[in-house]
Structure formats: structure tokens, C-alpha cells
Structure 1
Amino acid sequence: MSPKKIRKERIVVKVGTSTITNENGGLDIHQIDLLCRALSSIENLGYDLVLVSSGAIAVGAGKMRLAQKPKDLRLKQAAASVGQCELMHLYDKLFGEYGRLVGQILLDNDDVENPVRRENLQNTFDALLENHIIPIVNENDSVSHVEIESDQKLFSDNDMLSAIVAVFTGACKLIILSDIDGLYDKNPANNKDAKLISRVEKISDDIYALAEGSGSNRGTGGMITKLQAAELATSRGVDVLIINGKNMDNLYDIIDKKHVGTLFVAKE
């Protein structure tokens, strides 16, 4: 995958399941509204924005009144179908309240690996962004079992998907909204003296050793997947920030060049 020329005004934002859902798996509408408001304000400043949104399976499971996140493949795909519908309905409505149009892009491996489909995908992204439409991207879980449970999947989860999208679209920044403030020198859930690491120049084995498991039972990834995504994106010239998505003011601070979360510095 060859990256496009880096565009200083293009930003990819990835929002995780734990950021946009509550403990019961239902949509946190207030939080999504704050996200849509912040991204609309940032786009109004002249930035191109791409949103990579998780949450379809969790939201679908909640709407289907399933007792827990489904484990059976058929149920996962059904939940993804129901949940993606719900997510896009809400994004369309809330972004519309702030005068913004959105478009849906669902991806699987072939969209990036097949040359013809990759070119079509590139044209779609370009057409949407040139017309000031915010692409909302997710994996095509409802039809591709590979993206849900195969060890051979390209994206591994939406953290890696967001890195691939950032490189693919020539973004200057990838902002990953998480349920934690950034990368710590030890697990803050178990260590009160844990310190936030504000800047990482190189993602080494020592950095990977600091990461532990998934932060939420509603999401699929944890700090490890975010580091893997950051390693890919920074190697292709994209700065990556991991910030706490529960405080959407963090997005405004990044645009104002204030320091927030953990910055993984892009390689030149």
C-alpha cells in the first residue's frame, strides 16, 4: 500500500466502542453528539476529516436485546448489520444538525489489496473529501467473516484499520480516541503512581512491554493494537495521538497545538 502525498490539513479520527457506548452496550448519544460537534467545528476550520468508527456489533447486540456480546459468527454478523444501520442513522442526524454531510464506507481486505478496487476506493475518498463530506469508515463485518475472527485479516481491528486509512488518504494526523488518557509507564488501573508518557519517538520492544490488554469488555482492542497501528502510521509519515475520548475538548486542544495524550512522532 503506497501512501498518498501527506496533506497537512487532513486528519483521521478513530473512535472506539467504549467511547460511544455505555456500560450496557447502548449508544451514548450525548457523547456522540459532542464528537459530531467537535469534528464539525474542526472541519469548518478547513480540515479534511475522516472518521473511523467502531461499535456496530456492540450497538447491534444491544438493540437486539442480546444478553451479552455474541460469540457465534452468524449472530456477530447479524449484530453488525443492525448496529451499523443504527450508527449511521445517528451520525447522519447529528452531523446534519451541524450542517455536515456524511458518507458511509465499509471495507474489507480486497478493497485495499485488489488494485482495481483500491483505485475505486481512492476515488471515492477523494470525491467525498473534495465535496466537504465526512467519510465514516468501518469494517464490513456483516458480510466478511474474515474481518471478525480470522488470524489472517489485514486490519486486525479498527485501530489498524484507522492507520491504514490514514496512510491511504495521505493524512497528516491520526487521532485515536480511547478510554484512557494515553500510554502510561505502567497500568494506571493498578498503579496510582503511573505516569503518562507524553511523547514517543520510536515504538520499541520496551514501549510494547508497557501495554496491557483491552481496556473495556465492549471493545476488541487494547493498547497493544493501538501501538501496532501507531507503528504502521508513523513509519509512513503520519503523526499518531492517543487521547481520552470521554473529553471531546481534547480534539479542540490538538487543533490549538496544545499537548494532549501521547504523541507518537512520524518518521520523516
Structure 2
Amino acid sequence: MRIVIKVGTSTLTHSTGLLNIKRVEKMCKVISDLKNAGNEIVMVSSGAIGMGLSKVGIHRRPDDISTLQAGAAIGQCELMYVYDKLFGKYNHAVAQILMTGAFVAIDDYGKNLDNTLHRLLELGVIPIVNENDTVTTDEIVIGDNDTLGAIIADRVDAELLIILSDIDGLYTANPAVDPDAKRLEVIEEITPEIEALAGSAGSKLGTGGMVTKLKAAKLATENGIEVVIANGRDPDILYDIMDGNAVCTKFVAKK
């Protein structure tokens, strides 16, 4: 199976923005094991801005673009160093792809992106994709890494998009404030009523919320890709997703 795994800032880091070492080590181990089983995997990874800002003592997302871009420049180095080191332990090579809106908007750039991604997968490499926040202000034309995950899943002809966040899936209400909130296990169609259940952004160093996740799920399912939203606090959830018994919300792909 060809899988795109989008990992959010809240999964990769502590609330301080610093790397959650135990969790990231386990996540790389589980992904390596899934790859050893014959799956092809692309990662879409957030976390660079949060890690970079925390490294220079900024623990809350600032409003000015230049500081966010500086944080991305600092954090991207550290993030890729960590991935290279951890995946290397299991004999898997990684490659960094930093995108801008032009890759999606311009045909020639899009073809170059497709060629690179498919060749990396042929070579057995794990592409790790992020928006190039250092030189573009589009996130800070794509807008968020959830949508980027759906775009990449379409470009590589993935069968499954997994979005790991800090919540178990889509609920009928905010489970943090409503004890009667129920998790929706399977969603056949993303209707206006489903979209209305989405809340606002979650972590103080991230940008995404359920709104962007539903947007990504709608884009992916319309392109024939199944989507799962799950909690990334324990990377073993990836095994459960593959086995079909995860605590999550699954969005059924349109045929």
C-alpha cells in the first residue's frame, strides 16, 4: 500500500515546542516497520516552525511573518537531522522536499515534483515533505500541512492518507468541554452538517484544526483516497490503522 502520513506539530513536540524525543523515536521505528512490510510511505511533517522558535526561546506562535520564517529556517535543519538519524537506525534513507504554492499552480513545477516523488519511492526512500515557510508566506497558496498532505497523496497516487493529530478523530462536539461528545467512526460523505462540527485551531504552536483536516479529507476522498484522522500520542496507532481496529475517524474514498 502507498500511504501518506501527515504528522502535526502537537504529535512531534511537547507544549514547549521542543521535540518529544520518546514519541518521535517510536514513530520512526513503527513507520520503518511498516515500510519493511512492503508499504511505500511519504511523510508530510509539520513541526519546523515550533522547533525553531523554541530553540531561540520563543514558546508561543508570533504574529509577524519574518519571525515565523526565521523559525522555519532554524527548525527545518533540526527536524531533518532527527529524521535522518532515526530512520537511518533502521536502514531507511529520507529525502527532504520543501514545496511552495508554485509547485501546485504551475504545470512544469508540478511535473518535476511528481517525477521526484515517484523516483524517490522507486528507490525505496521516505520523502519528507513540508511547505517552504522560509521563502513563502502562503501557509504562514497551500495554507496548512493537512491540505498539503491531501495534495501529496493525490500526486503520488496514494491509497491512504493518515492525519495524526492530538485528537482521536471527529466528534459531535468538542470532547474537551462536552462529556457527551461522541466520536464518529466512519464518514461516508463530508456534508455541510459534518463540516459544521469542526472546531478551531488546536495547539499554540501549530496552525491546523479540525477545519483544515476536514478540508483535506474532502479533497483526498474526492480523489479516491481513504483518509484516517487519529491521535498520534502513541505511534502504535499506525499498526491499528493498518489492521482496521484503530480508535479514529475513517473517511470513505469516493469511487
Are positions 1:62 and 2:49 aligned together?
no
2:159 counterpart SS class: strand
Structure 2: stretches of 5+ with no match in the other structure: none
2:33 counterpart SS class: helix
Other-structure match for 1:137: 129
Instruction: Give the distance between the partners of 1:141 and 1:183, measured in 2 at CA.
Output: 28
Other-structure match for 1:219: 206
1:23 counterpart SS class: coil
Cα offset, 1:235, TM superposition: 0.3
Instruction: Give the distance between the partners of 1:96 and 1:166, measured in 2 at CA.
Output: 24
Please tell me the residue identity of whatever aligns with 2:26.
L
Cα offset, 1:70, TM superposition: 2.6
Q: Which runs of 4+ in 1 moved over 4 A?
A: none
Please tell me the residue identity of whatever aligns with 1:227.
L
Are positions 1:195 and 2:187 aligned together?
no
Cα offset, 1:174, TM superposition: 0.2
Other-structure match for 2:224: 237
| Identical positions, percent | 51
Are positions 1:19 and 2:11 aligned together?
yes
CA contact (8 A) 1:235 1:267 kept: yes
CA contact (8 A) 1:61 1:70 kept: no
Other-structure match for 2:32: 40
1:195 counterpart SS class: coil
CA contact (8 A) 1:51 1:134 kept: yes
Other-structure match for 1:120: 112
Are positions 1:110 and 2:102 aligned together?
yes
Deviation per CA, 1:137-195: give whole Å up to 9, x if none.
000000112331xxxx2x21000000000011100000000100001111100111211
Please tell me the residue identity of whatever aligns with 2:94.
V
Instruction: Give the distance between the partners of 1:70 and 1:30, measured in 2 at CA.
Output: 27
The number of equivalent residue pairs is 255
Are positions 1:78 and 2:76 aligned together?
no
Instruction: Give the distance between the partners of 1:145 and 1:223, measured in 2 at CA.
Output: 22
Other-structure match for 1:160: 147
1:165 counterpart SS class: helix
Are positions 1:28 and 2:20 aligned together?
yes
TM-score (norm 1): 0.93
1:146 counterpart SS class: coil
Cα offset, 1:74, TM superposition: 1.3
Please tell me the residue identity of whatever aligns with 2:169.
G
Cα offset, 1:215, TM superposition: 2.1
Other-structure match for 2:191: 204
Please tell me the residue identity of whatever aligns with 1:204.
T
Cα offset, 1:67, TM superposition: 4.8
Instruction: Give the distance between the partners of 2:59 and 2:5, measured in 1 at CA.
Output: 30
Other-structure match for 1:97: 89
Which among 224, 231, 236 is matched to residue 249 of structure 1? 236
Structure 1: stretches of 5+ with no match in the other structure: 1-8
CA contact (8 A) 1:108 1:147 kept: no
Other-structure match for 2:156: 169
Please tell me the residue identity of whatever aligns with 1:146.
D
Cα offset, 1:247, TM superposition: 1.6
